[in-house]
Structure 1
């Protein structure tokens, strides 16, 4: 295992601030990181997916055609029939019903994703205060390139901080086919036909990596995973494995009890992981970092 200096740790790692408890110990020992259900994150404004299809209410022929074709709601011959025979109310109703159902399904899907939060910052006093139990906890340094190189952490990306959520554009959406089919009545040919249902999805997770700028001090980098867990078996979160060599250092707060520091020291010693202790510099409100064990 490559041993990093403290400056290399700061340049190459992402940091996860934790209370010292049995869950944190299990994460370290079992090489797993907790990913939370979005509804259990501490920011109530997470995933600001606000969908506005109201422009179709103008019942503009070209706009309705654009929606129907982009989302593949109807075959082209049916769209043409509705437009040429002045049945725009019916076309609008079909599109609106499909969009409403698809929007509910999309919201449910994105709320089924799991999120894990890291920080780019090792020296922010507020992070130590808010997330490491006022320096009674610890901070784990993970090599970001090792994490990013795995399939489980391929969606590891920095959060964008803004005053208003990113607006959705038409090109941001796509439709995905799903396996089951259903029958519907074809108004054009006056017969029942088979259709392939589709789900509306965002082309990327970009809109899920944004928070209000009041959170900017966190310097967050988040990982988002789709574990495809049935609703009946879903919990508040899930543990996701990471490579055994991903941890490059552990930093403990100066207020941590000595018995707990000794426990972490033994782990770092046997696994050749650098260990540091962090304390507040009351001269300038900064963070002091001193080494306890360097392999």
Structure 2
């Protein structure tokens, strides 16, 4: 989003500014080979399927919000071209979103931002939540949704080790009385899944909860 609004260059070589936005990504593509490759260490991870009751419960407390990611297929150069009818192009499933209306709103935002006398950091702060809802069209295959939490309370923020980085990651957790997941898909390259599946079901049954465990149907060598 910042690239499209011509703001990314203004952020280069600047001091890091903290954000209160936390993101959890999801997709409607449950057993998709491209996502297994990209996000589960080449198919040795797992896919967790959210319980619909859990997702509905998020709307009641108002702390978490679920959004559909929009994939933009328009270059910033096109928006800067004078004398040309401008239109934002999108790619992928828009889930009922009015493309024409959204295009007009983004163009108005582009003009407002680029004609504004406000400090760039102030503009970006105003776009804090919205800017995480757009990605380049090259990622449209992901069909991504994002759970977004704006959390400022230090007691709800934790630092935990991650196998992706030497430095701990910063997290916040979603509180809900509803079971979060109904099913677990194990990746196409998971070994000894007949040992892993019983352990997952045991962990849930010890909390008086049920969950289905399946193996991916994708052939992946």
What's the TM-score bracket when you normalise by the shorter of the two chains? 0.5 to 0.7
Residue 170 (structure 2) pairs with residue 237 (structure 1): yes
Q: CA RMSD in A?
A: 3.7
SS in 2 for 1:241: coil
Residue 14 (structure 2) pairs with residue 113 (structure 1): no
For 1:159, which of 69, 72, 81 is the aligned residue? 69
Distance 2:148 2:180 in 1: 18
Deviating beyond 6 angstroms after TM superposition, the runs of 4 or more aligned structure 1 residues are none
Contact map agreement 1:119 1:218 (CA 8 A) in 2: yes
Name 1:264's counterpart in structure 2: 200
How far 1:208 moved relative to its partner? 2.2
Distance 2:27 2:185 in 1: 14
Name 2:213's counterpart in structure 1: 275
Name 1:209's counterpart in structure 2: 133
1:114–1:123: structure 2 CA closer, same or farther, 3 Å change rule? same
1:204–1:129: structure 2 CA closer, same or farther, 3 Å change rule? closer
Name 1:249's counterpart in structure 2: 183
Residue 218 (structure 2) pairs with residue 218 (structure 1): no
Structure 1 residues 185-240: Cα deviation after superposition (integer angstroms, max 9, x where no partner): xxxxxxxxxxxxxx66537833320000111111110122221157xx88532131
Contact map agreement 2:69 2:146 (CA 8 A) in 1: yes
Name 1:178's counterpart in structure 2: none
1:228–1:269: structure 2 CA closer, same or farther, 3 Å change rule? closer
Contact map agreement 1:251 1:275 (CA 8 A) in 2: yes
How far 1:50 moved relative to its partner? 4.4
Distance 2:111 2:128 in 1: 13
For 1:138, which of 46, 70, 78 is the aligned residue? 46
SS in 1 for 2:31: coil
Higher RCO structure, 1 or 2 (CA under 8 Å, sep 6+): 2
TM-score, with normalisation over the residues of structure 2?
A: 0.56
Distance 1:49 1:155 in 2: 24
1:48–1:223: structure 2 CA closer, same or farther, 3 Å change rule? farther
Name 1:65's counterpart in structure 2: none
Structure of higher CA gyration radius: 1
Contact map agreement 2:188 2:219 (CA 8 A) in 1: no
TM-score, with normalisation over the residues of structure 1?
A: 0.43
Structure 1 residues 120-165: Cα deviation after superposition (integer angstroms, max 9, x where no partner): 1113211112212333211111124522432366321010001247
Residue 33 (structure 2) pairs with residue 125 (structure 1): yes
